[in-house]
Structures are given as C-alpha cells and as structure tokens.
Amino acid sequence: MAAAVGARRPPGVEVVEHEGEPITLIEACEGAPALWIVDAVRSGAQPGTLHRLDAAQQPLPAELFGVSTHRLGLADALELARALGRLPPQVIVYGIEANEFEPGSPLSPSVARSVERLADALVEELSAAVNAA
Amino acid sequence: MPDKRTKTIRTATLARVEGEGAMRVRIEAGQVTEVALDIYEPPRFFEAFLRGRDFAEAVDITSRICGICPVAYQMSAVTAMESLCGVEVGGQLRALRRLLYCGEWIESHALHIFMLHAPDFLGYAGAVEMARDHPAIVADALKLKKAGNEVMRVVGGREVHPINLRVGGLHRVPRKAELATLVEGLERAREIALGAVTLTATLDFPDYEQDFEFVALAHPGEYPIDRGRVVSDHGLDIAPADYMTHFVESHVPWSHALHSQRTDGSTYVVGPLARFATSYDELTPLAREAAAGVGLRPPERNPFRSIVVRSVELVHAVDEALALIADYEEPDAPALEVIPRAGVGHGVSEAPRGLLYHRYEIDADGTILDAVIVPPTSQNQTAIEADLRGVVERSLDLPDAELSVRCEQTIRNYDPCISCATHFLKLDVQRV
C-alpha cells in the first residue's frame, strides 16, 4: 500500500510505512495538517471489505484495531495524541478487512484487490486535498 | 436473607485482548473463600513451534512471544544456545546486548509506570483519561519511552521486535557515532526518570506486605539484567542449569497457564522487588541515591510500591545505558562463530517483569528437539493470587466498585505481560 501510494503521491504528501508503535506514530503525525492511516482490521466482515472512519471527530472503535495483545493499539495512540493536543485537525483511517493474521501468510486475492482499489482512491483523495489547500 | 458480606468479584474479558485475563474472587460471610486468576499464556504454543527448527532460529521465533519484552526472549534464547555450544559472548558485543536490553527496560518500565499503573493510583480509567488532566506527566512518559525506542532502533535494528541479535553476537555492530546520537535523549530521560521516583513515591499505597521468597539473577558487580546465577533472599544460589530442580510448574484447573512454585511448594516472586532486594548494592550510585531520597530501602515488601522500585530501576537502566555508550569501542567482528553440538542448554535473563528461563535440547545438526520457556508472569501467578486474597481480606469494607479497582491494581503490581491495553481486566461485582 505504502509503495503503491508512494509512487503516485501528490507534491507535499509524505508517505510513511509505520510498525504501529504508538509513540513514534504520535511523533510522525505531529505538525501535519491532515493524516490518512491505512491498517488491517478484523471486524468479522468479508475479507477485503474497506472501512472508512473519521478519527478527527470521534475515537476509533478499539475492537476494530486491537489485533495486538501486548501493546497500545492504534486507537489508543490516536486518543493519546488527541488528549495531548497533538492530533492533526483532519484524520481519516482506512481499515482493510484482513483474511488471516498468520505470520508470513500472503495477501488473499480479495484483500489484494482491495489494496489496489484503495490505493487508487487514496491517491485521488490526496490530490483533491492538496488542490483544495 | 443473603449475607451482605457474601459476594463474588468476577472479571469479564475485554474484547480487544487476545491473551485473556480473567479473575474471580469469592467472599462468603466476610471470608475470602476462593481466588482464581486465569492467564492465557502464548509461550506454550511456541515451545511446540520451536521443535524441529534450527538452533539459530530460536532468537527470532521467541522474540515474537511478546511485543513489550522481545529482547528478554531473544537474550534468554541466545545465551541458552551459546552456553550449550560452549561459547561465551563477552567484551563490547556483550555490552551492546546489555545496552539493547537497557533500551527494553526503559521502554517497558516507562509504559507500565505511567500508562498502565499510575492511572490506578491517580483514579483514572486509563492513560488517555489521565493525559487530559496531566498532559505533562504523559508527555514525559512519551519522551522516556522514545529514549528506549531509539536504543532499540539503533542497536536492535527497529523499535518493535528487534532483528539484530543472533547466536554468537549481533548481525551488525553500530558505529560509535550512531550511539552518540542516543546520548541527548537519554540524558533527558534520566532527569525524567529521577522525577518519576519522586512522583511515584508520593502516591497513596494500600497497607499490605507480603512475605514470599524473592528470586532473581545476580552477578558480582552488576545489576541483574542479561546474566547471572539464580539467587534468592532465602539463600538459594544455583547455576541456571539447575533451575528445573528447584522450581516446578504445575497445572491448576482454573487457568490455561502453568503455575510455578519452588519444589517444596512454597511461593516465590520475580521482578523489580526481587531484584531490588537481592542486588540493591549493584544499582548505580544515582539510582541508589534516588531510592534513598524517597526512603526506599531493600527489601521492599509492599507490592504496591513496586511502581517506585520500577522507577528506581528506570533511573538505573538509563544511567547504565549512558555508561555503556560512553565506554563503547567498535568490536572487530559482529559475532563469534558458534558450531552446534548435541546437548541441553539453559538461558536466563531478567525481563523487565522478572526472571525468564529458557531450556533447549538440540541435536548435533543444531535441530531443536525440545524447548521449555518459563515466563515471569507464570512464575508470579501464585503470588498474585495470594496478594489478591490478602488485599481483599484487608479491604472488605471498601465499596464494591473500589474493591474491584483495588483488585486490578493488585494484579498490575506485577506488570503482567498481557497488558495490551490500559486496562486488560474489567471487573464486575456480584452480590450473592
């Protein structure tokens, strides 16, 4: 995803591949006027289902982004950033419904198609945002 | 009519936690009749998973057991394999590994003290709620954690699940100049850590003391982190290879995790309180001063004060990381050659939450035939249940909601390694 969007990103947009460690995530988004996050989610929907959430207005549903057992998740990181006044004014989170989380397992065809579809849509959305600014 | 002093305190599992923690305390007529803590233990899968893999792979496979203390798993794994093959990694290679381990202690302790445990004492549901009222405390915690992250990134290759450790040493040794970039952040972290000792010492601690045997590693001239003999305040002093003759794991019906006890059936404790009790003299002078400054002396037997001891260890870890960087000379080679041979190897190290034991049997080709991993949380489980019993007995007059919070706080004294979120246990109180 990062590579697909990175190659076609509009000027002024930075693409960061991030492991999800909350502290560096809060740092990475500090000072940015807008933030788009893409992550894998598990909600029980069909693999490849795309979720679009506006995190600037309200917290992310934690159950959607809590795939780690041993650390703060994405939802916690964004809420910490919000509490500290470090959350960018615009935050859109895309979740791609994953098929499986086994280490080393490849993307399933339905998820791979959604990644492509989202990359295209995201490039358009970013371009529109850059033009509007 | 039901006795008002009869009730069951029970946990429900939080949906976002894959490793479940559940707890049940039953009180009948003002007497605690049952305490059961059920912890799901991922390492059990890994032991089977390791069989048939190459001895050099254990370091990266076991790293995946925990996102908070991967270095602990890696270090116990590599030292087990190295001791089995008759190799001892010393000098600057060992110093680099210890520096990496300090980075993990800084990260892990900062997370637990500020994000997971402090909210219990200050009356918040979690770190996010606390951050709204105390942004400066949380901002400091983030700086501390970042200093630890940076050590992990520079020495370990990345912040989460570092990839630079291997049997015999490291894959790549950092340049002196790379380590120099860590100094400024660590110096700031040292100030914050000193502040954390003062801050945590002013918290309100429930009146409770335990009397269990403290078990930790010990090595002359150093605070126990990456090596040592297994010692206790009751006179135990054994080589890591004898661990399994002094400690036993057993199944209990109410938990997926194995309970660890001394072979005589007695309860013991690993972690900050145990290390503080057995190796206080090996803390850096600054860490000892910080402890003395708030009246903390070994042995500290109130588990709620572990948050202060953890803060003292935070000072130590930052202080020692700075010393290791100051003394660093680039080694000629990143690793020693390690040739596998058939046998059994034992590796112990001090994860931030306590002693972590690994045992491997490999054949002459280096294939792993058997693996045993005893994590600190399993070792502390019996003590946690005993504390719950003791704390509830002393707190029967608390309202149900407060008693539930007190139970959670009691469990978190041990920084149990299922802490995915601010609060991993949700407690409901039911009157019978």
- Predicted local confidence at residue B12, as pLDDT: 45
The larger pLDDT score, comparing residue B56 to residue B422, is at B56
Q: What's the CA gap between A112 and A110, in Å, rounded?
A: 5
Q: What's the CA gap between A47 and A111, in Å, rounded?
A: 6
Q: Which of B128, B135, B159 sits opposite A79 (nearest CB)?
A: B128
B42 contacts in A (CB within 8 Å)? Answer: 69
pTM: 0.88
Residue B190 lies in a domain: yes
B131 contacts in A (CB within 8 Å)? Answer: 80, 83-84
B1-10, B14-23, B170-179: range with lowest mean pLDDT: B14-23
Q: In the predicted model, is pLDDT for residue B371 greater than 70? A: yes
What number of helices (H) and strands (E) belong to chain A? 4, 3
Could you tell me what percent of chain B has a pLDDT over 90? 67
- Predicted local confidence at residue A69, as pLDDT: 40
Residue B420 lies in a domain: no
The larger pLDDT score, comparing residue B146 to residue B401, is at B146
A69 contacts in B (CB within 8 Å)? Answer: 17-19, 42, 67, 418, 420
Could you tell me what percent of chain A has a pLDDT over 90? 35
Residue B421 lies in a domain: no
Find the length of chain A: 133
Mutation for testing the B interface, residue in A21, A58, A74 having most B CBs under 10 Å: A21
The larger pLDDT score, comparing residue B83 to residue B21, is at B83
Instruction: Give the model's confidence band at B429: pLDDT under 50 very low, under 70 low, under 90 confident, else very high.
Output: very low
- Predicted local confidence at residue B357, as pLDDT: 95
- Min CA distance, B101 vs chain A (Å)? 18
Residue B430 lies in a domain: no
- Predicted local confidence at residue B74, as pLDDT: 96
Instruction: Give the model's confidence band at B9: pLDDT under 50 very low, under 70 low, under 90 confident, else very high.
Output: low
Residue B12 lies in a domain: no
B40-44, B84-88, B177-181, B306-310: range with lowest mean pLDDT: B40-44
Q: Are B74 and B168 in contact (CB under 8 A)?
A: no
Instruction: Give the model's confidence band at B327: pLDDT under 50 very low, under 70 low, under 90 confident, else very high.
Output: very high
Q: In the predicted model, is pLDDT for residue A64 greater than 90? A: no
Q: Are B35 and B385 in contact (CB under 8 A)?
A: yes
Domains identified in chain B, total number: 1
Q: In the predicted model, is pLDDT for residue B1 greater than 50? A: no
- Predicted local confidence at residue A61, as pLDDT: 78
Mean pLDDT across the stretch B352-360?
95
Residue of B nearest to A23 (CA): B142
A70 contacts in B (CB within 8 Å)? Answer: 19, 66-68, 417-420
What CATH number corresponds to the domain at position B349?
Answer: 1.10.645.10
Residue B431 lies in a domain: no
Chain A positions touching chain B (beta carbons under 8 Å)? 19-21, 23-24, 26-27, 62-63, 66-73, 76, 79-80, 82-85, 103
Q: Cβ A63–B16 below 8 Å, yes or no?
A: yes
Q: In the predicted model, is pLDDT for residue B8 greater than 60? A: yes
- Min CA distance, B351 vs chain A (Å)? 14
Q: Which domain holds residue B124?
A: 46-379
In Å, what is the CA distance from B412 to each residue of A92, B50, B115, B386, B405?
34, 30, 11, 14, 11
DSSP state of A9: P
- Predicted local confidence at residue B16, as pLDDT: 21
Instruction: Give the model's confidence band at A27: pLDDT under 50 very low, under 70 low, under 90 confident, else very high.
Output: confident
**E-assigned strand segments in B111-266:** 165-166, 169-170, 213-218, 229-232, 237-238, 247-251, 258-262
Residue B127 lies in a domain: yes
Residue B69 lies in a domain: yes
- Min CA distance, B418 vs chain A (Å)? 6
Block residue for tokens 């972590």: B356
- Min CA distance, B407 vs chain A (Å)? 21
A21-25, B75-79, B142-146, B158-162: range with lowest mean pLDDT: A21-25
> pLDDT of B205-255, one tens digit each?
999 999 999 999 999 999 999 999 999 999 999 999 999 999 998 877 666
- Predicted local confidence at residue A115, as pLDDT: 92
Q: In the predicted model, is pLDDT for residue B14 greater than 60? A: no
Helix or strand (DSSP H, E) at B310? helix B306-326
B421 contacts in A (CB within 8 Å)? Answer: 62, 66, 72-73, 76
- Predicted local confidence at residue B260, as pLDDT: 86
Q: Cβ A26–B145 below 8 Å, yes or no?
A: no
Instruction: Give the model's confidence band at A100: pLDDT under 50 very low, under 70 low, under 90 confident, else very high.
Output: confident
A67 contacts in B (CB within 8 Å)? Answer: 18
Q: Cβ A69–B17 below 8 Å, yes or no?
A: yes
A85 contacts in B (CB within 8 Å)? Answer: 135
